[in-house]
Amino acid sequence: MARLPRLNLADIPQHVIQRGNNRQVCFIEEQDYKVYLVKLLEYSEKYKVAVHAFVLMTNHVHILATPSTASGISQVMQSLGRYYVRYINVKYKRSGTLWEGRFKSTLVQSDLYFLSVMRYIELNPVRAQMATLVAEYPWSSFQHNGLGKKIELITSHPIYIALASQKIERLQAYIQLFDQQLSKHTIQEIRDATNKSWVLGDAAFKRQIEEQIDRRCSPYQRGGDHKSEKYQESMGTRLLE
């Protein structure tokens, strides 16, 4: 099945995942994590992309960011990917690819899903049993968003800032969000939308995006939908557009 065109729109947050080829390790020593973050900062500034959250796992990365141009995310990830592959190949005297094809991404509806995606990203080490508490993992934006340690890379999104007017109260409010676990449904929604290039949002948001990019943003309903009256009507409407 042909891959869907990438969802690239300016000023809408994107959740990005890039995995190591065949799940191979991408970060071996502490310096590797530091180099990746330094270059992520460099390229995000160059291409005017605001990074709100991240986690660097041993064999993949998650990033939540808002581009100011439609091509911003792709430019950052392509430049960063190329640089980091060269860095790893030279340092460890290896050759060949490091990443698993192209990165995966989804557009995120800010008011409904933004904070959930932040938590999903920063809780990755806990779900993977690499840390007992989210605050224990050093290569995560929770160090900034939850603990208040300055990370130059991070630009706070208005949704995060709206948690409280003062920094200390904002940190406390953010930490309190982690007292309640993300539901299995929400986790699956985030995974499906990102891995399958759908949009993470409600029906109205998806319709809005579909009008801008001229392609569907969610899967067809299962169970004979191609023969359904609703499906036939929607396809007829598309043919008339």
Number of domains composing the chain: 1
The pLDDT tens digits for 154-202 are: 999 999 999 999 999 999 999 999 999 999 999 999 999 999 889 999 9
Q: What percent of the chain has pLDDT over 70?
A: 89
Mean pLDDT value of segment 85-101: 93
Q: Residue 38: what are its φ and ψ, rounded to 5°?
A: -60, -45
Other Cβ atoms closer than 10 A to 195: 12
232 within domain boundaries: no
Q: Which residues pair with 210 in a beta bridge?
A: none
Reported as a pLDDT band with limits 50, 70 and 90, residue 235 is very low
The pLDDT tens digits for 95-136 are: 989 999 889 999 999 999 999 999 999 999 999 999 999 999
Can you give the residue range of the structural domain that contains 131? 14-201
Alpha helices of the chain — where are they, by DSSP H?
30-46, 72-91, 110-122, 124-127, 142-145, 158-161, 167-177, 184-195, 203-213, 229-240
Q: Residue 102: what are its φ and ψ, rounded to 5°?
A: -80, 155
* Residues near 167 by beta carbon (within 8 Å), at least 6 away in sequence: 148
pTM recorded for the entire structure: 0.88
For residue 164, give the CATH number of its domain: 3.30.70.1290
The pLDDT tens digits for 31-58 are: 999 999 999 999 999 999 999 999 999 9
Q: What stretches of the chain adopt beta strand conformation (E)? A: 14-19, 49-56, 60-67, 104-107
213 within domain boundaries: no
The pLDDT of residue 222 is: 59
Half-sphere exposure (Cβ direction) of 64: Cα atoms closer than 13 Å = 29
219 within domain boundaries: no
Instruction: Say whether pLDDT at 213 is over 90.
Output: no
The pLDDT of residue 155 is: 98
97 within domain boundaries: yes
The pLDDT of residue 214 is: 76
238 within domain boundaries: no
**What six digits make up the tokens of 91?**
């340092």
Tell me which of 237 and 198 has the higher pLDDT: 198
210 within domain boundaries: no
Tell me which of 96 and 224 has the higher pLDDT: 96
Tokens 């934006």, residue located: 141
Reported as a pLDDT band with limits 50, 70 and 90, residue 146 is very high
3 within domain boundaries: no
Q: Which residues pair with 63 in a beta bridge?
A: 16, 54
Instruction: Say whether pLDDT at 65 is over 60.
Output: yes
6 within domain boundaries: no
Q: What gap in Å lies between CA 176 and CA 188, rounded to an integer? A: 22
Task: Return mean pLDDT, the chain.
Answer: 89
Q: Residue 97: what are its φ and ψ, rounded to 5°?
A: -75, 160
The pLDDT of residue 221 is: 62
Reported as a pLDDT band with limits 50, 70 and 90, residue 225 is very low
The pLDDT of residue 43 is: 98
Identify the H or E element spanning 120: helix 110-122
Q: What stretches of 44-118 adopt beta strand conformation (E)? A: 49-56, 60-67, 104-107
